Amino acid sequence: MGTKTVNIAFQESLLREIDRVARMESRSRSEFLREAARAYIQRKKRWASVFAMGRDIAESRGLTPEDISIEIGAYRRSKKGSSR
Residue 14 is classified by DSSP as H
pLDDT along the chain (84 residues), means of 10: 92 98 97 97 97 94 93 92 70
For the chain, what's the residue count? 84
pLDDT of residue 84: 57
Please state, in angstroms and rounded to a whole number, the distance separating the CA atoms of residues 14 and 54: 35
Quick check: 16 and 24 in contact, CB under 8 A? no
Quick check: 54 and 67 in contact, CB under 8 A? no
Please state, in angstroms and rounded to a whole number, the distance separating the CA atoms of residues 57 and 55: 5
What global pTM score does this model have?
A: 0.71
Helix, strand or coil, per DSSP, at residue 10: coil
Instruction: Please write the tens of the pLDDT for every residue from 50-66.
Output: 999 999 999 999 999 99
Please state, in angstroms and rounded to a whole number, the distance separating the CA atoms of residues 41 and 62: 31
Which helix (H) or strand (E) element contains residue 40?
A: helix 29-60
